[in-house]
Homo-oligomer: A and B are copies of this chain.
Amino acid sequence: MIDLSVDFGFIKLKNPVLAASGTFGYGIEFSPFIDLNKLGGFVVKGLYYSPRPGNPPQRLVETPSGLINAIGLQGIGVKKFAEDILPQLRKYQTAIIVNVCGETEEEYAKVVDFLNKEDGISLYEINISCPNVKEGGCCPAQNPESTYSVVHLVKEVSARPVITKLSPNVTDIVEIALSAQEAGSDAVSLVNTFLAMAIDVEERRPKLANILGGLSGPAIKPLALRMVYQVVKHLNIPVIGIGGIMTGQDALEFLIAGAKAVQVGTANFVDPEATVKIIQDIQRHCQFNNITKIEDIIGTLNE
């Protein structure tokens, strides 16, 4: 028996494979395909306090080995989530993580405050890449001070451990990660999508109605892995690797680089069984290499 469990200190996951926010719906969309109990956990679609209409279509563009999305965080808001969705999720024996969004710092806190009362949530993941409508700028994730500020505020109200999800659109990812750690984040996850664009040459207009979107998928894996490698070296809280993971091999690259767990995103669209297959692949790799605990692989990169 191979022990695939990973211990974050504040939570123990049955295995290091999570599904990434926004690519796994509210989880239940995948129950026709896989047994959700097999996952280390899953992160639900980003939640603002209020429902959000999202962007007009076209919302997706396929690019070489990648996908640009500009969904615009369409969502049902916390109340409907708590009423309609959470009751369905409580029966699963896996970590349920809520991806917390906000247009202002206060909105992040409001979401967390509201959800604190609800059972069946294991962790919060704060998505600091939400556009800041109030200040007109991009998002807290691009600046160490605003990262600190949001994380600090959320930690103050949160009744549960908090993962901070970092944006890759920065000069120095380590600086932002350190800020999150300093502000009390219990873990960091990276990366969110890369700001991207595509143009329709015949029509001479942006392919996305929103003009810009976020790139995900295999194309970004080498960039995400580099960032995880850099962040792991400087942090003493757990790091979750995300970006272009399609196979067990991809997941193992992140684990070897030092990620305690990984999240699988775009792969879920291509193959709704991807998460479970990745877990199987990892298991097989351990078996083949006589590794009895997955934790013996984590952070074992020979430089």
Contacts and interface: CB of A to CB of B under 8 A. Distances in A.
Interface of A: 61, 63-66, 68, 142-143, 169-172, 194-199, 201, 203-206, 211-212, 215, 217-223, 225-226, 229, 244, 249, 252-253, 256-257, 285, 297, 300-303
A199 B303 CA distance: 10
A199 B257 contact: yes
Given A142-B172, A196-B222, A201-B249, 20 more contacts: A63-B218, A64-B64, A64-B219, A65-B65, A65-B218, A66-B219, A142-B171, A143-B171, A169-B171, A171-B171, A194-B223, A196-B226, A197-B229, A198-B222, A198-B225, A204-B256, A205-B302, A206-B301, A215-B222, A219-B220
Q: Name the prevailing secondary structure of the A interface residues.
A: mixed
How many copies altogether?
2
Contacts of A61: 222
Given A222-B198, A252-B201, A285-B201, A206 B244 contact: no
B63 A222 contact: yes
8 contacts: A63-B218, A65-B66, A65-B218, A170-B171, A199-B257, A201-B285, A204-B300, A215-B222
